[in-house]
Amino acid sequence: MSDHMNETKNIMKKKKILPVGHFRGLGAWTFAFFIYLYVPIVVLVFYSFNSNRMVMNWEGFGISWYLKAFSNNNIQQAVLNSLIVATVATACATAIATIGALVLARGGSFKGKTLSLGLITLPLMVPEIVTAVAVLIFFSSIGMNLGLGNVIIAHITFCIPFAFMPIRARLEGMDTTLEQAARDLYATEWETFRFVTVPLLMPGIVAGAMLAFVISLDDFIITLMVGGAGSTTLPVYIYSMIRRGLTPEVNAISTVLLFFSIAIVTAYWIVSKKSQTKTVH
């Protein structure tokens, strides 16, 4: 995904672009845009440190709601569920995506190659609610009820395309003569894969995994539909908390989730950026 963004950036750099910076009032618009984008989040984070039990009545700075949230058994259970689901789904989705990317990039040309590529990335465009309903109907029609297992399977499904994209981008940009050089230096196909292909692909795999992890961690709709009692994840639990009334506890736990996601996305960004400078020679 960031590969894509960088590509457009490069294209824009090369072309002589309209110097929009000279238009009057543009700075103000940009400022308004960022306010629009971030004020709700800033407010959310701000009130998580409120010591009053009413969200909107500022009383004073305190971290009591964080302590409360952390000691809430239901939240602990939801966090645990979220981590289990995200970890297992990420591992499976990344493995499947890696194999898929290898087949598509290195399997030579085979019938239905373009179609397969389309089919792998299509779920990115399918409305989430459609996927959710489809998966729900599927599980109930085959009578599958594994609790958290159902959630994990559903998460693997929609995480695959997210994990797939950076891996494929990395693979496409990889110099195949490196693998030939390894074979020339007496490495068998397996050794070539193990000692050359995988290490070179690693930044793509890590980036794909991190993306899949964040997507899984933040998912709400599909999890809400598929997960039964006892398989509540953090986003679903936060939603149920809100229905019982807004307390700064919701703000606190949302803020924790926010910064956790930001941390992973930042790490993803650093990894993919690093891998890009490495491929240039």
Among 117, 187, 221, 267, binds another protein (CB under 8 A): 187
Does position 172 bind another protein by CB under 8 A?
no
Among 10, 188, 240, 266, binds another protein (CB under 8 A): 188
Among 130, 185, 242, 263, binds another protein (CB under 8 A): 185
Among 41, 146, 178, 270, binds another protein (CB under 8 A): 178
Closest contact distance (angstroms) between CB of 10 and another protein is: 20
> Do the Cβ atoms of 51 and 40 come closer than 8 Å?
no
Among 182, 210, 236, 250, binds another protein (CB under 8 A): 182
Instruction: Choose the stretch contacting another protein; rule: CB under 8 A; options: 51-59, 157-165, 179-187, 261-269.
Output: 179-187
Nearest residue to 156 (alpha-carbon basis) of 176, 178, 131, 180: 131
Among 146, 184, 240, 274, binds another protein (CB under 8 A): 184
> Do the Cβ atoms of 133 and 225 come closer than 8 Å?
yes
- Compare residues 82 and 275 and give the one whose CB is closer to another protein: 275
Binding-site string for another protein from residue 212 to residue 251, where x marks contact by CB under 8 A and - marks none: ----------------------------------------
Instruction: Choose the stretch contacting another protein; rule: CB under 8 A; options: 28-36, 46-54, 95-103, 183-191.
Output: 183-191
Which positions lie near another protein, rule CB under 8 A?
175, 177-178, 180-188, 191, 195-196, 199-200, 278-279, 281
